[in-house]
């Protein structure tokens, strides 16, 4: 008897970058109306100073996404450092929204309520994943740098694992803001210079090669993760969802490419070609999933 494989769902992660409010609203309006995505995460994950610009539009955005048939998840700050930031997280929890926890502080505040885990928590083994399930996690996005074989061990039999499948990989967060410093500004008077870089600011080595991107206090990979060749394996080992992280390219097109490929309507080669045709901030890479350096490109041999 052949094995029946579960349909992979698609999760649109939160916008990590400081897009102008009008652009942010228009982005989610198009996702609501046109994108074949199952779960949509909204909320400020990187820097709490950005959130007030969206306070007046968030509720309408959530309602529009829900009318479009999307499950909306409220993503929380990944590095809360002040009592005010912790209180803000708790207010969102107490409002009764489905929460994506991106810091262990949020998990503690949830106190066993059903929730999602984002890719910023360090879940690198089966025991840690099982602990988070016991604490109420119903879906867990594993860290972006995990190789396929590690995902296989961690996800086996759990039915909760989500994998980072598209976008610049989130690698680290800092209490300091390099984005401001690189523009000659202190963090407390940053003038929101991160808004200038819709996909993050490229960082180069001494000899001029791009290898990272900076987004406020966040460090990401320069390359764009694209888990096209691994989707069949991910489904086979029990992964339940693929996470697509917003970039400034046509994300409706990205979501459609992954939906068609995951449903078997296109081939791996067709999906990779379609993604490559988009205006991306960097070349496509699947190095981490192949247990290679993260910058390894999809068309490079092992």
Distance from the Cα of residue 142 to its chain's centroid: 10
- Distances from the Cα of 149 to the Cα of 132, 152, 155, 288, 291, angstroms: 21, 5, 10, 11, 8
Q: pLDDT at position 297, please?
A: 84
Indicate whether 301 belongs to any domain.
no
> Is residue 291 a part of any domain in this protein?
no
Mean confidence (pLDDT) of the chain: 94
| pLDDT for the residue numbered 1 | 34
Give a yes or no: residue 232 inside a domain.
Answer: yes
Residues 8-32: tens digit of each pLDDT: 999 999 999 999 999 999 999 999 9
Closest CA to 121 of 175, 70, 162, 153: 162
Question: Residue 61: its pLDDT value, please?
Answer: 98
- Residues 111 and 83 sit within 8 Å (Cβ to Cβ): no
pLDDT at 181 exceeding the cut of 60: yes
Whether 178 maps to a domain, the answer reads no
- Residue 264 maps to a domain: yes
Query: Would you say residue 188 lies in a domain?
Result: no
Q: Residue holding tokens 């080669």?
A: 269
Q: What is the CATH number of the domain that holds 136?
A: 3.20.20.70
2 pLDDT more than 60: no
Q: In which order are the strands placed within the sheet that holds 170-173?
A: 170-173, 218-221, 210-215, 201-204
Tell me what pLDDT residue 5 has.
54
265-301: per-residue pLDDT in tens? 999 999 999 999 999 999 999 999 999 998 888 877 6
- The residue-averaged pLDDT of 104-130 equals 97
User: Has residue 148 been placed in a domain?
Assistant: yes
- DSSP bridge pairs for 12: 40, 244
Place of tokens 């929204």: 97
Phi, psi of 212 (to 5 degrees): -140, 175
How many structural domains compose the chain? 1
How far is the C-alpha of 90 from the C-alpha of 253, rounded, in Å?
35
Beta partners for 257?
Answer: none
pLDDT of 66 over the 70 cut: yes
CA 191, chain centre distance (Å): 25
Phi-psi region of 112 (alpha: psi -120 to 50; beta: other; left: phi over 0): left
- Give the residue numbers spanning the domain of 247: 9-168+225-279
**In sequence order, what are the residues at sequence separation of 6 or more whose Cβ sits closer than 8 angstroms to the Cβ of residue 56?**
none
pLDDT at residue 296 in the model = 84
Contact 183, 194 (CB under 8 A): no
Structure tokens at 105: 């502080």
Mean pLDDT, range 66-78, rounded to an integer:
98
Give the Cα separation of 183 and 18 in Å (integer): 16
Give residue-wise pLDDT tens across range 201-215.
999 999 999 999 999
| pLDDT number for residue 6 | 72
pLDDT score for 298: 81
Q: Is the pLDDT confidence value at 140 over 80?
A: yes
Q: Is 202 helix (H, G, I), strand (E, B) or coil?
A: strand
118 has a pLDDT exceeding 60: yes
Pairing of β 9-12 and β 241-244: parallel
Q: Is the per-residue pLDDT at 195 higher than 70?
A: yes
> Tokens at residue 225, please?
């993760």
**pLDDT of 122 strictly over 60:** yes
238, part of any domain: yes
Q: How far apart are the first and last CA of the chain?
A: 34
Q: What is the DSSP string of 24-88?
A: HHHHHHHHHHH---SEEEES--S-GGGGGGGTTTHHHHHHHHHHTTPEEEEE--SS--SHHHHHH
Would you say 42 and 74 are in contact if contact means Cβ atoms under 8 Å apart? yes
């Amino acid at each position: 008897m052949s094995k029946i494989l579960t349909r992979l769902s698609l999760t649109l992660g939160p916008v990590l970058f400081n897009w102008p409010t009008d652009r942010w609203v228009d982005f989610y309006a198009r996702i609501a109306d046109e994108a074949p995505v199952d779960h949509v995460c909204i909320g400020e994950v990187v820097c709490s100073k950005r959130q007030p610009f969206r306070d007046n539009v968030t509720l309408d955005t959530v309602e529009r996404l829900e009318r479009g048939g999307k499950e909306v998840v409220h993503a929380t700050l990944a590095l809360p450092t002040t009592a005010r930031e912790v209180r803000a997280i708790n207010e969102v929890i107490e409002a009764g929204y489905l929460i994506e926890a991106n810091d262990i502080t949020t998990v503690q505040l949830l106190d066993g309520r059903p929730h999602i885990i984002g890719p910023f928590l360090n879940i690198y083994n089966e025991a840690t994943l099982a602990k988070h399930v016991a604490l109420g996690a119903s879906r867990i996005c594993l860290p972006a740098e995990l190789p396929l074989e590690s995902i296989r061990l961690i996800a086996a039999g759990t039915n909760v694992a989500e994998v980072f499948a598209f976008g610049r990989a989130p690698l680290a967060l800092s209490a300091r803001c390099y984005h401001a410093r690189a523009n000659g500004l202190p963090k407390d008077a940053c003038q929101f210079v991160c808004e200038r870089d819709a996909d993050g600011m490229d960082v180069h080595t001494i000899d001029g090669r791009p290898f990272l991107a900076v987004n406020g206090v966040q460090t990401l990979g320069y390359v764009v993760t694209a888990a096209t060749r691994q989707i069949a394996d991910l489904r086979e080992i029990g992964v339940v969802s693929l996470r697509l992280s917003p970039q400034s390219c046509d994300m409706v097109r990205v979501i459609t490419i992954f939906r068609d490929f995951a449903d078997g309507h296109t081939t791996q080669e067709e999906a990779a070609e379609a993604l490559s045709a988009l205006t991306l901030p960097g070349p496509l890479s699947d190095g981490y999933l192949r247990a290679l350096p993260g910058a390894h490109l999809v068309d490079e041999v092992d």
